[in-house]
Amino acid sequence: MELTAPVIPRRKAMADKVSDILSPPVLLVATLGILVGRDGSDYCLLAAVYFVVCSGVLPLLALWHLCRKGVANKHLDEPESRILAFGWALLGTILGVSGLLTWSGMPRLFVVFAIAYALVLAVLFLASAVWRYRRLRYGPAAQAWKISIHGGGVGMLAGVAAALYPSLPVIASGLMLCAVMVVARVVNENHSPLQVVSGALTAGGIHCAALMFYAAP
């Protein structure tokens, strides 16, 4: 019996391609250029290091461990993808609230506190992924990417309001976020686990870019 490769619908293939192009690593490079090149201050460097750790290193470590233990294959199983999406959605939501409070008049001190708090949550999330904390598999985790979108969007709008003028990098990042979510949710109705994780990472990363760009002295 001859085996044939599954046929991928054209719309799904296009959705996957757009999601790959607008993935968090691409936004990571662009954001680092904005943060480090703005004024060279230690605060911007701290923001850059924070962004690398939270949006790059920690999720890769968690994914590597899950794959090494056979918990997830290279495309991730559905429960494990929910763990990742739920953890990063929490970070995106917390950072979004911090952006809103930054706009209300507590710029530097509160943002530094929010960074430290988010890092603690990131470590706890990584530990839960390593030890397969199964309570995160079900319930609200299924809708975690929606929480992440709200958190990232609130933070981005707060950063724009705090600066009182529009910025091309932030507007471009917002358009990228909209494009990713439209493709993953509308064009490809049965979005893959990788797209869910990508959406959570992208929302948190875009918020971090907007908040740090405007909050830095």
H or E, element range at 156: helix 144-163
User: What is the arithmetic mean of pLDDT over 168-174?
Assistant: 48
**Which tokens hold the place of 100?**
């809103």
Q: What domain count does the chain have?
A: 1
Q: Is residue 3 part of a domain?
A: no
Q: Is residue 2 part of a domain?
A: no
Looking at residue 60, its amino acid is L
The pTM score is 0.30
Closest by Cα among 206, 159, 143, 208 to 179: 206
User: Buried b / exposed e across 103-123, counting CB within 10 Å, b at 16+?
Assistant: beeebeebbeebbeebeebbe
How would DSSP label each residue in 129-142?
Answer: HHTT-GGGSSGGGG
Q: Is residue 170 part of a domain?
A: yes
**Which tokens hold the place of 108?**
């530097």
Q: Is residue 6 part of a domain?
A: no
Q: Is residue 4 part of a domain?
A: no
Range of the domain at 162: 11-68+77-215
pLDDT given for residue 208 in this prediction: 52
CA distance 131 to 38: 40
Is the pLDDT reported for residue 68 higher than 60?
yes
pLDDT in tens, 97-150: 554 454 445 455 555 555 555 555 555 555 554 554 444 443 333 344 444 444
Q: Is residue 1 part of a domain?
A: no
